[in-house]
Structure 1
């Protein structure tokens, strides 16, 4: 857990952490890697993989500028080892990966953002255990919480890649300052602030659950964050592993907490319509009214800064900023919830093992982070390579010894539940279905 004093406010200037869960990435298609000329490059960091050569296919949901940054982050490795990393990014990654695997068209490596999907590809017999070198790197670089997400029946099948935080509330410092508002320290403070804003004639919250094939996932973030605050880590973990059913009273309590905001007609949905408009408002567009006073707050992951234009100043005195969703009580520990990807191998050729091993090193984390818009939870990365203070802070939070990272629950559950029934259930819930009906429907989807 995170101490309250270290997370009262989270600056997000320039942070475009890679989004996990069903949110996918924002637009376009990914690039492809390529070999390079090693002249003028210090190849000493890659000596153990020297002259391996060959080609390695890497499949992910990462596209556009993020894909270009990835390509640059391993360019020296390619040039020094002769390995050509062919990256393919897809906006339909979660749906297409199982199809490709079943059709005998498996990539050599995939960056899987969902532990539930990772478990599925392992149980279906497609993934292979990581090499000894990758295993050693993971044991040295990540805590038990991260390692556990890729460990199945005692065997490690993946290495953590990027990380992001999804317990953030975006707001406009200008709007807050002009109206005498302060960042809330408790949930009750946040509700009182919402009441004050609503009385002024502004809808305090913007909310958007639409995300193409992943529609509904932003709603799961509300429930996951609420449950961490009402039930704590133990209840959250029991819920994810189905030790308590989805329709348990403890889960209903979390829905009720979120209900007080998301389904409150006085609070939502800034400039977009009534409560039911949430189902058709895209998460990409939902937070933009913050810029003109259309709403005052928006719960969305740290990666959302990518949606603001270059002319938008992100900072404590800027156009937009962020604070961590507060706890129920003052002084309580603040839960950290988020996501990330895992590099999972589907082939055991030497060049595949070499690429995978490099991706699991702190040296690679440093290389990728130096390209911008990315943070790793690798405990041995050099955070000084991260240039903007907000990303530095995010890395500090993720790497703090007392941080217990709670992986996005919907991504950790079986796919039939987490990325199907749960997503669908959130749309039913926000368009008028009762909490009991939604919980029962999701519980019935457990395999």
Structure 2
């Protein structure tokens, strides 16, 4: 990506932060070693990551240890971050830094007084290297608490090029092309268009968010996320009607709607790339790992196209993880500044399975062309990109198994005949979660 004044300012800020962190470090400084400005300081970071994600993150943390002499320990929260943090907060023993999977949790913990505002270099890097939207995402009442560390691109549809070639179709650019020419031609060729991941309710909220963002636009998307307009609004009903173009057609889905609601993620990816029961599957960039497990090669027989435009513009929905400080001790703000920096995130980008929202991380930091393209789309989108809506609302409505959006959209996948009734259920659930 070409240089620009904003990037130059960000690079200067990051360089200054790096210089500060490196001050007084000797070549032998390391975890628990002498000579670092934070020698003897012990910090605890908690996040949901396990396996290769945890290994990569710990490699990034090692860079901070080497520069400062601090010792950084990691604990996995498991998938339910709130269940992990609740007892820790009650006992007065929270981690120094927590990495939250939902902006809604940032607001919840800030209102409890459990978070420490960003300060010093951490606040400076956020101001210089992140767009207004990302800054606001981690802020509560104008106070910055969090930094989006790891993004997930949720606006792509994976497909099998061989299936498209057999049917004689190209990747569509509009919703009408997707549901019309592409899907119809695939069906006529005896190829089921979609594998659906409906047993994992969060995948259905991702479908909804992409269609809603493109069809209703960013302003109404923000209003709906804040519940400033009701879920019975015409824009919600229209999105449900649009989803029914696929969800309401059994011939579109592997196993029909019943099969779709019984198939979880990542089995749906295996259905496309392992069993080859369908031509396409919708989910984010992270589905690449599951395609590889199914025997596909990303960029060759596992490729993706942007989620088609439903309205005037195609959507760009991003999920991700936000780092917040829960401790006020020495080293907390320094570690937040390091994790937010282009230096740390460039290291992370080179390890794979990662996307950055930091505008100073060059796209060539990523190990493959596909990820480079995804990273560039996030940077190019500027403030038109939107964060996963279901992760912005109260978790009881947007992110809980068997409740709220997950269960209501699963019911709508089973029977898409009454969008108005589904919208009414969504509004009732949202209102209950707000009360």
Q: State the TM-score bracket (shorter-chain normalisation).
A: 0.7 to 0.9
Structure 2 runs not aligned, ≥5 long? 1-24
Question: Which residue is equivalent to 2:13?
Answer: none
Distance in 2 separating the partners of 1:144 and 1:79: 32
Distance in 2 separating the partners of 1:405 and 1:106: 32
Q: Does 1:303 align with 2:292?
A: no
Q: Does 1:116 align with 2:116?
A: no
Question: Which residue is equivalent to 1:379?
Answer: 359
Distance 1:242 1:73, change over 3 A: same
Q: Does 1:432 align with 2:415?
A: yes
**Candidates 340, 353, 356, aligned match of 2:336:** 356
Distance 1:103 1:305, change over 3 A: same
Distance in 2 separating the partners of 1:111 and 1:99: 14
Question: Which residue is equivalent to 1:159?
Answer: 147
8 Å CA contact 1:49–1:354 kept in 2: the answer is no
Query: Per-residue deviation at 1:39?
Result: 7.9
Structure 1 runs not aligned, ≥5 long? 1-37
Question: Which residue is equivalent to 1:196?
Answer: 185
Query: Per-residue deviation at 1:401?
Result: 6.2
Query: Per-residue deviation at 1:220?
Result: 0.4
Question: Which residue is equivalent to 2:203?
Answer: 218
**Candidates 129, 141, 160, aligned match of 1:141:** 129
**Candidates 305, 309, 330, aligned match of 1:323:** 305
Question: How many equivalent residue pairs?
Answer: 396
Q: 3-state DSSP class of the match of 1:323?
A: strand
By relative contact order (CA 8 Å, sep 6+), the higher-ranking structure is 1
**Candidates 245, 257, 271, aligned match of 1:289:** 271
Distance in 2 separating the partners of 1:301 and 1:262: 19
**Candidates 302, 306, 325, aligned match of 1:345:** 325
**Candidates 212, 216, 221, aligned match of 1:236:** 221
Distance 1:339 1:204, change over 3 A: same
Question: Which residue is equivalent to 1:60?
Answer: 47
Query: Per-residue deviation at 1:309?
Result: 2.9
8 Å CA contact 1:101–1:126 kept in 2: the answer is no
Question: Which residue is equivalent to 2:249?
Answer: 264
Which structure features the higher share of helix residues? 2
Distance in 2 separating the partners of 1:41 and 1:364: 20
Query: Per-residue deviation at 1:294?
Result: 0.9
Q: 3-state DSSP class of the match of 2:357?
A: coil
Distance 1:224 1:344, change over 3 A: same
Distance in 2 separating the partners of 1:400 and 1:48: 42
Distance in 1 separating the partners of 2:307 and 2:301: 19
**Candidates 289, 293, 296, aligned match of 1:312:** 296
**Candidates 384, 387, 391, aligned match of 1:411:** 391
Q: Does 1:366 align with 2:353?
A: no
Query: Per-residue deviation at 1:179?
Result: 2.3
Distance 1:322 1:243, change over 3 A: same
Query: Per-residue deviation at 1:227?
Result: 0.7
8 Å CA contact 1:54–1:351 kept in 2: the answer is yes
Distance in 1 separating the partners of 2:414 and 2:166: 34
Query: Per-residue deviation at 1:95?
Result: 4.0
Moved over 4 A (4+): 38-43
Question: Which residue is equivalent to 2:258?
Answer: 276
Query: Per-residue deviation at 1:432?
Result: 3.0
Distance in 2 separating the partners of 1:41 and 1:66: 28
Distance in 2 separating the partners of 1:97 and 1:121: 13
**Candidates 44, 51, 55, aligned match of 2:38:** 51
Distance 1:126 1:265, change over 3 A: same
